Amino acid sequence: MNGQRGQSIPIWAFGTLSALVLLAMALNYGSTLRWQMRAQNAADAAARGMLAVQTSQWNETMATVHAAAVEEYRLRLIMNDLLEVIQGSGGCDAKVGDSGPSTCAAMYANLRQRYFDALQRYTNDVLVLNRVSYPSQSQQITQIKAALALYQQNCGQTTGGDCAFNYSLVAAAPRQDSYLEDVYADCCAFAVGGNTTGNPKPDLSPLKLEVVACANVPPAFPSFFNFTPPKYQAIGRAAATSIMGTQEFMYVGSLVNPSTNSVFQGAEYPESANNTPIFSGDDTNYRIDYGGNPNNPDNQGNPAVSDGKWGFTYTPQNEGFLAATGWWESMAIKPFSGQLSNGVQYTCK
């Protein structure tokens, strides 16, 4: 049998064509995966970010309530001091005709001014609290829709989303739970869900929302040997809800501020003109002590203890100020809106 030249060319051509087809399929598949991950990341970021409308409002409310509570605590003790100096008790000099910082009249004048100053700050805190806490849940949802539209408009910027996608708010509603999530943490225990029951009104109920990010994506290879692959949709679907991420128990009279190396709320002496003790006994009867202040051995506050499981307990024994604050954030959850339809619940870009 004689060999014939050129018989391997069709085989090589077919093999090369097959390899190119497989390569094109692999690249298209890789592109599809990349776009799908990109869509999911876009939806996740939008869902969690839009809940900042609620979580930021609640965190601002918590911070303002804390500031107002400090002033209310201060006002209560100043009023008690005023009653003492009016009655000539607590150590002030009640003799008529005497003068000096230790007289009841001088202390009364200082306490009166401190009272008006604290009352003005308390009034300002309440006015701020009214402004930051006014939106109802329906107003929050309206703000979320506006924020998502702005997020779409500012795409490609630090305050915007991915320009390749269209963002749709599928659902936004109160989370219907039979319990309120809570978080307790100390040195020895960390527990989520402290079996805290409650039935808050809708305006104080955590929201849950669902967002879809969708784009019509052209194939990696628009045409190949007269074959044109169709466009496909990259869809990301994500849901999130507001949760109390951390809860803090702060004894502001004994907890040290690391930026100042002093306690957050040191002892105050409103009976003096320069906030310093008048008597050698540290003005125990007039000073404002936030509990556990290091320079007052007579008031150690009310230390809390943990059972290592669910949270903190404490038995009030001394006067003191305990700030129990909860800070809100968003958490991803499973989408909850059921089957969705393009052009109805969401649209693609």
Query: What's residue 118's pLDDT?
Result: 97
By DSSP bridging, strand 166-174 and strand 207-217 are antiparallel
Q: Is the pLDDT of residue 299 over 80?
A: no
Neighbours of 241 (CB within 10 A): 21
Average the pLDDT over 30-59 and give the result: 90
Distance CA 342, CA 55 (A): 30
For 333, the token pair is 């959850």
Q: Which residue has the tokens 């200082």?
A: 110
Question: 335, 237 in Cβ contact below 8 A?
Answer: yes
Question: 166, 348 in Cβ contact below 8 A?
Answer: yes
Query: What's residue 192's pLDDT?
Result: 45
Q: Is the pLDDT of residue 143 over 90?
A: yes
Q: Is the pLDDT of residue 227 over 70?
A: no
Query: What's residue 157's pLDDT?
Result: 92
What residues have CB less than 8 Å from 35, skipping those under 6 apart? 215, 217, 234
Give the best-scoring range by mean pLDDT among 1-5, 185-189, 224-228, 243-247: 243-247
Distance CA 103, CA 98 (A): 7
Query: What's residue 193's pLDDT?
Result: 47
Question: 128, 121 in Cβ contact below 8 A?
Answer: no
For 251, the token pair is 């004894």
Residue that wins the pLDDT comparison between 185 and 304: 304
pLDDT tens for 248-274 read 777 788 778 889 888 888 889 999 999
Residue that wins the pLDDT comparison between 203 and 184: 203
Q: How confident is the model at residue 55 (pLDDT cuts 50, 70, 90)?
A: very high
Average pLDDT, the chain: 82
Average the pLDDT over 133-143 and give the result: 88
* Lowest mean pLDDT, pick from 41-55, 149-163, 224-238, 284-298: 284-298
Q: Is the pLDDT of residue 191 over 50?
A: no
What residues have CB less than 8 Å from 348, skipping those under 6 apart? 166, 214, 215, 216, 233, 235, 342
Residue that wins the pLDDT comparison between 192 and 140: 140
Distance CA 270, CA 112 (A): 9
Residue that wins the pLDDT comparison between 240 and 219: 240
The DSSP letter of residue 282 is T
Q: How confident is the model at residue 189 (pLDDT cuts 50, 70, 90)?
A: very low
Query: What's residue 190's pLDDT?
Result: 43
Distance CA 264, CA 257 (A): 6
Average the pLDDT over 289-294 and give the result: 72
Q: Is the pLDDT of residue 185 over 60?
A: no
Write the CA distances from 22 to 9, 10, 230, integer angstroms. Answer: 20, 18, 17
Q: Is the pLDDT of residue 184 over 50?
A: no
Distance CA 165, CA 158 (A): 16
Q: Which residue has the tokens 């039979």?
A: 178
Backbone conformation region of residue 338, classed left if phi is above 0, alpha if psi is from -120 to 50, else beta: left
Give the best-scoring range by mean pLDDT among 67-81, 166-180, 242-256: 67-81
Average the pLDDT over 278-284 and give the result: 77
Tally the residues of the chain.
349
* Lowest mean pLDDT, pick from 62-66, 174-178, 204-208, 340-344: 174-178
Distance CA 349, CA 234 (A): 10
Q: What is the largest CA-CA distance in the chain?
A: 140
- Prediction pTM value: 0.77
Residue that wins the pLDDT comparison between 191 and 314: 314
Query: What's residue 183's pLDDT?
Result: 46
Neighbours of 116 (CB within 10 A): 11
* Lowest mean pLDDT, pick from 7-21, 51-65, 238-252, 295-309: 295-309
Q: How confident is the model at residue 311 (pLDDT cuts 50, 70, 90)?
A: low
Average the pLDDT over 199-206 and give the result: 76
Average the pLDDT over 109-118 and give the result: 97
Question: 207, 140 in Cβ contact below 8 A?
Answer: yes
What residues have CB less than 8 Å from 218, skipping those under 6 apart? 231
Residue that wins the pLDDT comparison between 283 and 265: 265
